[in-house]
Amino acid sequence: MVATDGRPAPKGESPAFDLSTYLKGRQAQVEEALDLSLPLIYPEKIYEAMRYSLLAGGKRLRPILCLATCELAGGTIEMAMPTACALEMIHTMSLIHDDLPAMDNDDYRRGKLTNHKVYGEDIAILAGDGLLAYAFEYVADQTQNVPAQRVLQVITRLGRAVGASGLVGGQVLDLESEGLSDIQEETLNFIHTHKTGALLEACVVCGGILAGVTEADLGRLSRYAQNIGLAFQIVDDVLDITATQEELGKTAGKDLIAQKATYPSLWGIEASIAKAKELIEAATTELKPFGENAQALIAIANYITTRTH
């Protein structure tokens, strides 16, 4: 959890920028907003189940990416906070459903029992559905001081990122590929650009849309996000092999046991780490036109290759 990996700061990143402090501050803002977004009302059981997973901690990287991009492009935290919360609701729903016995059958997530282990499968399915529906409602109903047309664009992007054209499609291919020994790099790329990448891209792109960036800048932001998304997944795969269960907060070595194809299994650990660093370089290059304003996004990109959990 350090701000840099010791390399000289890339162009555009101010040496004075303290990522660790920045992330802590934003994380606290997001935690507070998430807590307020979902009050515990009748019937309490479903709200409890939704809150259990939504407020289970985590780095809140997705909402932070959304807020940071909106600020980079001249918008405010307030404009982007409902979308930032919605992104975390969507991410949480995908974790709850992925952990179900019919899917990855995981008992632990972020060091806590998974939703269905606490509330039962039926409630866990419904808690996911509830979070997904609420994400869209929350953006539509709570976004302030943004033209309605932009909010509709954000909702379109969120839907695309989570549906069959994004996360759901990636998960389907992931399930189909399990146990197969001859997964091609193309298939693995499809899985990850959809399962992890699409939502990360939506975080960045939605932040830009809310602030009203040009199409050209949206393209740059989108490529930045695609690159860090893939790097993030590669690092995740590497950590699954090299980190301990305590560090991960979830079962370690699970991919190996499940015989899941991963980047390290295709390329080896060293080459995977090198590829992740290349992707991060490409990502930060896209942000050069934004100058000093991009320092948070650049620092976050660099952080991805140095994280240990």
Q: Which of 120, 179, 268, 291 binds a second copy (CB under 8 A)?
A: 120
What residues from 50 to 69 belong to the interface with a second copy (CB under 8 A)?
A: 50
| DSSP string covering 85-112 | HHHHHHHHHHHHHHTSTTTT--SEETTE
Size of the site for a second copy (CB under 8 A): 49
C-alpha 157/C-alpha 159 separation (Å) is 5
Q: Which of 52, 134, 232, 303 binds a second copy (CB under 8 A)?
A: 134
Residue 137 interacting with a second copy (CB under 8 A): yes
CB of 157 to a second copy, least distance (A): 8
CB 154 within 8 A of CB 139: yes
- Of 148 and 216, CB closest to a second copy: 148
Using omega within 30 degrees of 0 as the cis cutoff, is the peptide bond preceding 43 cis? yes
Residue 300 interacting with a second copy (CB under 8 A): no
CB of 48 to a second copy, least distance (A): 10
Query: Which single residue is written with the structure tokens 């891209």?
Result: 201
CB of 189 to a second copy, least distance (A): 13
Q: Which of 6, 15, 16, 122 binds a second copy (CB under 8 A)?
A: 122
Binding mask 159-188 for a second copy (x = CB under 8 A): xx-xxx---xx-xxx-xx------------
Residue 117 interacting with a second copy (CB under 8 A): no
What tokens appear for 42 in the block? 């009748």
Amino acid at 116: H
Residue 17 interacting with a second copy (CB under 8 A): no
Residue 212 interacting with a second copy (CB under 8 A): no
C-alpha 230/C-alpha 279 separation (Å) is 8
Residue 218 interacting with a second copy (CB under 8 A): no
CB 54 within 8 A of CB 135: no
Residue 149 interacting with a second copy (CB under 8 A): yes
- Please name the residues in contact with 62: beta carbons below 8 A apart, sequence gap of 6 or more: 84, 87, 88, 91, 199, 200, 203
State how far the alpha carbon of 36 is from the alpha carbons of 81, 96, 122, in Å: 12, 21, 25
Residue 210 interacting with a second copy (CB under 8 A): no
